[in-house]
Each structure stands twice: as structure tokens, then as C-alpha cells.
Amino acid sequence: MTTIYHALGLHMHQPPGNIELLLETNEWEAKQIILCYERPLKYAMRYDDVAKIHLGFSGILLEQLCAPQIIKKCSSVLNLKRLVKGYSKAEGIEFVGMGYYHPLFPLIPMEDWKPQIARWKEKAKELGLTAKGFWPPEMGFCMEMIPALEETGFKYVIVDGVHVKQVKENKNLTREEIMYKPLIAEYDSSEIIIIPRDRDISNAQESGLDPGWFEREVMHKTEKCEGNCLVTTWSDGENGGWFRQMHEESGFWGHFFAPYMEKVRKGDCTITPIKISEFIEENPPETYVEVRTGAWNVANTSGYDFSQWEGSEKQREGIEELWATSREYHRLGRRIPAIEEHILRAETSCNLFWGDARVHRIYEDTKEAKRLMERIKVKENEGA
């Protein structure tokens, strides 16, 4: 017997200082965005008997939501303290980890992978949040990340399904066996469970869909599935009018999610929402695969390369600056939080995503990191 399960995920991120900037320059947009962080909790509580939602918040977004000045400025819109506290208690929500400053991992030095993850985990622990799974920012993934993810305690990672490929030992897997089953990837004797994202349905989740179309599309795509199958959809949860719609009945939560949950609650839906961790526990993976280096489809790019983030000369120069500054820091041979913070913040993917427009922000942080390193060297020379 085939049973179709659905793991719905939303990605949330704002670059450093962005919420406060919007509150000062575009209060209406700031309000739209802030309300996007409240709705998953509101609807998870409203449908607490059936709703299952996965959320990935970057560490820098959590930091902003907890900042006293932002809490105060948003008080007329939302009680942010109550909101963040509510997330840790919502049974229907499963959090996934991320890099603190939302870096595109394959484009930053490997030495900075664990610090980005560790800083996120520290913030999550402070807020009472735990995560078994990992959502790589921009869905930027490479096999070399597997040891770092395993060593930092993650059990699974979500990747874009278009990058998953068969290994020699499993040449005859069907498309459904690759797309709609948990899988295993191995690198350098480390393993992690791979959860493929369905790109097509995720595109619809981000731009607009209704429960009827969703159910028909899922059943069509999984018609050759055998046994328990997991359809994973993931999109931004705060970008575009579909999610920012102030008239909730016309947006994602009112037009799609609430009617979807009503159908599930009444037993009229052929799809069952589930947490990824629960599905894995009941359906442990056995099939090994490889994942091509890549990202998700975003803006005008396919995600088969990183041209969105390194397509121009200025972007590539900015990345070189990141690597050079990081190398200089790691040569010091010890952790210096003040310097580390500037380097990790410079690695924010938003500094590269918008073409050449924000590359200058990389240099703002690396310049300060270099200044602090030079000061340390001067003091050490004076003490020699």
C-alpha cells in the first residue's frame, strides 16, 4: 500500500540590520515582513491536530527579532518576545538549522563552516529551539559539507532534488525512489540523510497554489511510488506578495494552507502532513546517492552553478577577499570572537546575491577584521 506524506518547509532570513533599516525607511514593508514570522505559529496552533510545518530561521534573523530596539519598534504590530517564545512550544513546528549569517557554504572557506553552524546552534539553544535537520542557505550544498554536518549533530539535510544522482551501486533507481524517499550520502567516512526537495511544486508554493491543484499534482507525480513516500516542498516564507499579503484569505495561509488543513482534518485529503524527523524514524533510508554541487533555482538562475553569487568580476573579487581575510585570521591559531564575527558576517550570501550592488559590504567587515588583526600583531611585537 502506498501512502503519500508531505513535508512543508519555509525559509526565513533577513541580512544584518535589515529589519531596523526597513522600520526607518519603509515601515509598511517592515510590517508585512514581520507578520510573515507570526503566521506559521498562528496557523500551527489553529490546526494543532494536523499541521506540520518546518521552519528555517537564519541566526542573524533570530538576533534581529530578539533585539530590544526592534521589539520596541514592532510592539504596535506584534509582540516579538511572545512570538519567539511560542515557536519553541509549538508541537506542529520542526525547526531546521542553518549557518548563522546565511552563507552560501560552498563559496566560503571550509574553516568557517563549523563556526557559522556553532553560532546558529548557540542562538537556537538560547531560545529553546532544537534542530535535527539542516537547511543550507540558498540550498547551496556540496558533498564536502557532510562531515561538518555530522560532527555538529545534524541527522538530515534538505537539498534540491535536481542535484541528486545515483551512485554506481544503485544504477536502476526510479525517479520516484530518488525524489520521494529519504536517502543517504557519504563523504570521507561520514554520512547524512538526504531529503530531496521537489523543485516544481516548491515553485508553486512560492508563487501561488490551491489545495485542489496541490493534491492532484502530488498524486500525479507520485503515482508510481511504492510504499511510504515523502514529498518535500520548500520556499521562502516572507518574500513576494503571496506570503506578504495583508489580506490573509488571499495569500498562502488563507488561500492554500487553511483549506488544505481543513481537508486533512476532515479526512478528505489523500496526502498526510508529517515532520521529516518522524518520517525518517518510521522509514529509515537504505539507498546511497550522491549530490551534485549546486543551489536552488532563484532569481534568473537554475542553481546548477553559482552564477547568481559569483557571476561578475566584482562578486569574484569579493569572494577572494573573504578567503584571504579568513586565511589570515585562521593563521593566528586561536579564536578571537570580535574578529570572527566580522568575517562570518562578511560571508552573508546577500552581499553577493544582488549582483555588484552589495559587494561593498564584504569589504566593510573584512577591513575591520584586518584592523583588529593588525592591532593584535602590533601588541604581540611590542611584547616580544
pLDDT band at 384; cut points 50, 70, 90:
low
Cell of 353: 546575491
Q: How far apart are CA 242 and CA 260, in angstroms?
A: 16
Q: How far apart are CA 372 and CA 382, in angstroms?
A: 16
Compare 230 and 171 and report the one with higher pLDDT.
230
Phi, psi for residue 96 in degrees, rounded to 5: -120, 150
- Sequence length of the chain is 384
Q: pLDDT, tens digit, for every residue of 16-73?
A: 999 999 999 999 999 999 999 999 999 999 999 999 999 999 999 999 999 999 999 9
- 315 and 266 co-located in one domain: no
- 184 and 331 co-located in one domain: no
pLDDT band at 1; cut points 50, 70, 90:
confident
At residue 94, the 3 state secondary structure works out as strand
Residue 9 inside a domain? The answer is yes
Q: What's the CATH code of the domain at 130?
A: 3.20.110.20
- 88 and 208 co-located in one domain: yes
What dihedral angle (degrees, nearest 10) is formed by the CA atoms of 95, 96, 97, 98? -110
- 79 and 141 co-located in one domain: yes
| H runs (alpha helix) in 136-267 | 146-151, 175-179, 199-207, 211-221, 241-244, 258-266
Residue 66 inside a domain? The answer is yes
- 321 and 369 co-located in one domain: yes
Cβ atoms 66, 84 nearer than 8 A: yes
Domain residues for the domain of 350 are: 311-383
- 97 and 146 co-located in one domain: yes
**Residue 383: pLDDT over 80:** no
Q: How far apart are CA 272 and CA 315, in angstroms?
A: 43
Phi, psi for residue 56 in degrees, rounded to 5: -120, 115
Q: Which of 291, 326, 359 is the last residue of a domain?
A: 291
**Residue 169: pLDDT over 80:** no
Q: How far apart are CA 315 and CA 353, in angstroms?
A: 9
Cβ atoms 142, 187 nearer than 8 A: no
Residue 148 inside a domain? The answer is yes
**What integer is the mean pLDDT of 324-342?**
96
Cell of 7: 513535508
- 229 and 376 co-located in one domain: no
Provide CB contacts within 8 A for 220, sequence distance 6+. Answer: none
Q: pLDDT, tens digit, for every residue of 124-159?
A: 999 999 999 999 999 999 999 999 999 999 999 999
Structural domains counted in the chain: 2
At residue 57, the 3 state secondary structure works out as strand
Q: pLDDT, tens digit, for every residue of 193-244?
A: 999 999 999 999 999 999 999 999 999 999 999 999 999 999 999 999 999 9
User: Side-chain half-sphere of 202: how many Cα atoms within 13 Å?
Assistant: 26
Question: Looking at residue 261, what is its pLDDT?
Answer: 98
Residue 296 inside a domain? The answer is no
Strands 164-166, 289-291: pairing is antiparallel
- 176 and 286 co-located in one domain: yes
pLDDT band at 378; cut points 50, 70, 90:
confident
Q: pLDDT, tens digit, for every residue of 60-86?
A: 999 999 999 999 999 988 999 999 999
Cβ atoms 117, 152 nearer than 8 A: yes
Whole-number percent of the chain with pLDDT over 70: 99
- 133 and 22 co-located in one domain: yes
Question: Looking at residue 314, what is its pLDDT?
Answer: 98
Residue 306 inside a domain? The answer is no
**What integer is the mean pLDDT of 332-343?**
95
Q: Which of 259, 291, 323 is the last residue of a domain?
A: 291
Residue 340 inside a domain? The answer is yes
Question: Looking at residue 310, what is its pLDDT?
Answer: 97
Question: Looking at residue 381, what is its pLDDT?
Answer: 78
- 343 and 245 co-located in one domain: no
Provide CB contacts within 8 A for 233, sequence distance 6+. Answer: 6, 7, 8, 9, 197, 198, 201, 202, 205
Q: Mean pLDDT for the chain?
A: 95
DSSP for 264-331 reads HHHT--SEEE--HHHHHHHS----BEEE-SB---BTTB-SSS-HHHHSSHHHHHHHHHHHHHHHHHHT
Residue 297 inside a domain? The answer is no
Q: How far apart are CA 242 and CA 300, in angstroms?
A: 19
**Residue 382: pLDDT over 90:** no
Q: Which of 258, 291, 324 is the last residue of a domain?
A: 291
- 178 and 138 co-located in one domain: yes
Residue 304 inside a domain? The answer is no
**What integer is the mean pLDDT of 93-98?**
98
Provide CB contacts within 8 A for 226, sequence distance 6+. Answer: 2, 176
Question: Looking at residue 325, what is its pLDDT?
Answer: 98
- 105 and 244 co-located in one domain: yes
Question: Looking at residue 93, what is its pLDDT?
Answer: 98
